[in-house]
Amino acid sequence: MSLEIKVGLASCGLAAGARDVYTAIENYLHKEKIAADLKKTACIGMCFAEPIVEISSEKFAPIIYGRITPEEVPELIEKFLTGTPNTAKAIIAKDCEAEENDTYNSQTRIVLRNCGKIDPVSIDDYLKVDGYKALEKSLKNMNRTEIIDEIKESGLRGRGGAGFPTGLKWQFAYNENNKKKYIICNADEGDPGAFMDRSVLEGDPHSIIEGMIIGAYAIGADEGYIYCRAEYPMAIKHLRIAIEAAEEKNLLGENIHGTEFNFELHIKEGAGAFVCGEETALMASIEGERGMPRIRPPFPAQSGLWGKPTNINNVETFANIAWIILNGAASYAKYGTEKSKGTKVFALAGMIRNSGLIEVPMGMPIRDVIYKVGGGMKTERPFKAVQMGGPSGGCIPAKLLDTTIDYDSITKTGAIMGSGGMVVMDTSTCMVDIARFFLNFTQNESCGKCTFCRVGTKRMLEILTKITEGKGEMEDLEKLETLSKNIIKGSLCGLGQTAPNPVLTTLKYFRDEYVAHIVDKKCVAGVCKPLIKYEVIEDKCIGCTACARKCPTKAISGKVKEIHLIDQDACIKCGICFDVCKFDAISKS
């Protein structure tokens, strides 16, 4: 019985030890002379279960195993060969129970349709799953306006954050009367906790390339760029291999598919500047200039890269294009809501059990995303909030858990859809500290062009830091709100215009925590160190000396079998005493 074995070797898999698992399988197959087709694939989204191995045969449907170690390889393969597949570590399976069956089946995978299924650097694998058929259909059976109309009818909105209708954006670029046009894929993913673009580029680079070629043909562009951050070396490597393979098969370059359409595609590596996710700053970077936003109008569709009409979409947007063309606008529009069609990819991070990538239909409540698809909270602590939209987004509280995933509903909460980052927080999170963390990020990433963004965010950060140190005043809350409004109005690009969102949403939904920091000098979550106080509970302390022996600053004194004391001036609030005490004799307040 011949086996087919796939091992996930994306960044998450490699970090978890998948390379050693792959080598162990390769060595065992060779040693035992077992007939098997061993393949490399990418991430299926379940990063929490890496390393992941999929095994199938003529007799048995695929079983996907999680958390595999090299030592488990022989038994895993032998049991499959003897007709009694091991299901103990199965995470996804059709013919047997597996712990993540419901999680996987609750998703609708369009963007992630090939991730974890094909070898991402094999164009033949992509062709086997109808790859480049949408391009052939576009070039041979559709004219440019028909393609644009199809994208319009699908209801696809840009997945980079703002949610502008993709077909309409293409229409604007198409309408420009210029022989030279460009198309750009924005893969400058910089939100903390977000890794959607990286996973798709690593796992299915041809889908991005195909979407870009179709888009280029539709608007009349003959040249394109994929702007990808240099911190994604595997994504860039896979893109280079994919571009070269597409050129060899006449799917890129001159006279594509024997037509008069020519298209050349380049990769531009970004240097990790968050502001270059803004499209005008991105174009400046491609041109060799400092990545700083430009005044609009003119918009890129009118005057973009080197002054020529330019269309810019992000990775997830382009990954939808081939599927829509091949399956039709109606098939795509049946998913989602009236104003937010299709599916959305999210990167789940933070205090969630199933961290990784998911793809769900628009309109699904946040509650289902977290508890049904995400598997619920990682700890026994209750859900507190979810940060959506990264540093430009906001914190949505537990009372709004039934908010549906669509552009309008999310915007009403004060957050934004963003590119798809979801950072889940439980009650161990301090919302003032979270606001400070995200504002610190955007303040560091400000290009400095706008005074309100450059100086205003710095003043806000100073105020937030002061509050977390217990030095805040009630007037500071009004100052934060006033500064926020002025920064939003006075900033040129989306970075500054959305930078105050984490502060505004935490003030809106968690104002009591700000007040507690200022008035009571208390951090409810016990995160802000200057506001934490560790004390010995006299009737519980037995004088075991464990806390004193572990204290790095010798702030704890006391003899064996006597009650200990903590010198508050010497205490650095590290919490080691709290962690090592087996008798709950240390209080944290």
Q: 154-208: per-residue pLDDT in tens? A: 999 999 877 899 999 999 999 999 999 999 999 998 888 889 999 999 999 999 9
Burial 520-554 (b: 16+ CB within 10 A, else e): eebbbbbbbbebbebebeeeebeebebbbeebeee
Three-class DSSP category at 241: helix
Of the options 3.30.70.20, 1.20.1110.10, 1.20.1530.20, 3.40.30.10, the CATH number for the domain spanning 3-99: 3.40.30.10
CATH topology of domain 431-520: de novo design (two linked rop proteins) (1.20.1440)
Instruction: State pTM to two decimals.
Output: 0.93
pLDDT of residue 99: 87
| CATH superfamily, with its number, for domain 123-332 | NADH-ubiquinone oxidoreductase 51kDa subunit (3.40.50.11540)
- Rounded-to-integer distance, Cα 3 and Cα 60, Å: 9
Burial 307-335 (b: 16+ CB within 10 A, else e): ebbbbbbbbbbbbbbbbbbbeebeebbeb
pLDDT of residue 1: 61
Asked whether the beta carbons of 419 and 196 are under 8 A apart, the reply is yes
Three-class DSSP category at 201: helix
Kindly list the domain boundaries of the chain, sorted by start residue. 3-99, 123-332, 343-426, 431-520, 533-588
- Rounded-to-integer distance, Cα 374 and Cα 157, Å: 24
pLDDT of residue 331: 98
Q: 499-515: per-residue pLDDT in tens? A: 999 999 999 999 999 99
Q: 286-344: per-residue pLDDT in tens? A: 999 999 999 989 999 999 999 999 999 999 999 999 999 999 999 999 999 999 999 99
**In the block, residue with structure tokens 């507690």:** 516
Beta bridge partners of 586: 536
What CATH number belongs to 343-426? 3.10.20.600
pLDDT of residue 87: 87
Class of domain 533-588: alpha beta
Residues of the chain with pLDDT under 50: none
pLDDT of residue 60: 85
- Rounded-to-integer distance, Cα 191 and Cα 182, Å: 26
pLDDT of residue 396: 97
